[in-house]
Amino acid sequence: MAKQKKQPRPKAITPKGFRDYFGSEVDERKRMLDQIAAVYHRYGFDALESSAVETVEALGKFLPDVDRPNEGVFAWQDEDESWLALRYDLTAPLARVYAQHRNDLPTPYRRYAMGPVWRDEKPGPGRFRQFYQCDADTVGSASMAADAEICALLADTLETVGIPRGDYVVRVNNRKVLNGVLEVMGVDEGPTRDAVLRTIDKFDKVGEAGVRELLGKGRLDASGAYIDGVGLSDEQAEPVLAFLTSKGDTAEHTLANLRAAVGDSAIGAEGVAELEEIATLLAAQGYSSDRIEIDPSVVRGLGYYTGPVFEAELTFEILDEKGRPRQFGSVAGGGRYDDLVKRFTGQAVPATGVSIGVDRLLAALHAKGRLDGRAEGPVVVTVMDKSRLADYQAMVGDLRQAGIRAEVYLGNPKNFGNQLKYADKRRSSVAIIAGSDEFDAGKVQVKDLVLGAKIAENATLEEWKERPSQFECNRADMVAKVREIIEGNDD
Whole-structure pTM value:
0.85
Determine the distance from the C-alpha atom of residue 488 to the mean position of all C-alpha atoms in its chain, rounded to a whole number: 33
CA distance 344 to 399: 55
- pLDDT reported for residue 294: 95
From the list 234, 227, 218, the residue with the least C-alpha distance to 185 is 234
**Distance (Å, rounded) from C-alpha 38 to C-alpha 45?**
10
Q: Please give the radius of gyration of the chain, using alpha carbons only, rounded to the nearest integer.
A: 29
DSSP codes, 114-154: EEEEE--S--BTTB-SEEEEEEEEEES---HHHHHHHHHHH
Q: Digits of tens for pLDDT over the chain (491 positions)?
A: 566 778 888 999 999 999 999 988 999 999 999 999 999 999 999 999 999 999 998 987 655 555 544 578 898 988 888 899 999 999 999 999 999 999 999 999 999 999 999 998 888 777 899 999 999 999 999 999 999 999 999 999 999 999 999 999 999 999 999 889 888 888 777 788 778 888 887 887 888 888 898 988 888 887 778 888 888 888 888 888 888 889 988 999 999 999 999 999 999 999 999 999 999 999 999 999 999 999 998 876 556 789 999 999 998 877 666 667 777 888 999 999 998 899 899 998 999 999 999 998 998 888 877 776 667 899 999 999 999 999 999 999 999 999 999 999 999 988 999 999 999 999 999 999 999 999 999 999 999 998 877 776 665 555 545 557 889 999 999 999 999 998 887 76
Look at residue 204 in the predicted model and tell me its pLDDT.
Answer: 76
CA distances from 40 to 105, 159, 166, 338 (A): 18, 13, 22, 22
CA dist., res. 180 & res. 266, Å (int): 7
How far is it, in rounded angstroms, from Cα 63 to Cα 86?
12
Q: Spell out the residues 6+ positions from residue 372 whose beta carbon is closer than 8 angstroms to its own.
A: 366
Which ranges in the chain are annotated with CATH 3.40.50.800?
A: 379-490
> Which candidate, 200, 138, 197, 106, places its Cα nearest to that of 335?
138
CATH class of 379-490: alpha beta
CB atoms within 10 A of CB 2: 4
From-to residues of CATH 3.30.930.10 in the chain: 23-367
Q: How far apart are CA 382 and CA 392, in angstroms?
A: 8
Distance, in Å, from the CA atom of 403 to the CA atom of 449, rounded to the nearest integer, reads 20
28/10 Cα distance (integer angstroms): 31
CA angle centred on 46, ends 291 and 370, rounded to 5°: 40
User: Do 334 and 355 meet the contact criterion of CB atoms below 8 Å apart?
Assistant: yes
3-state secondary structure of 68: coil
The amino acid present at 416, given as its one-letter code, is F
Half-sphere exposure of 22 (CA within 13 A, CB side): 5
The set of residues, in sequence order, having a beta carbon less than 8 Å from that of 413 and lying 6+ positions away, is: 382, 383, 384, 386, 419
Q: 23-367, superfamily in CATH?
A: Bira Bifunctional Protein; Domain 2 (3.30.930.10)
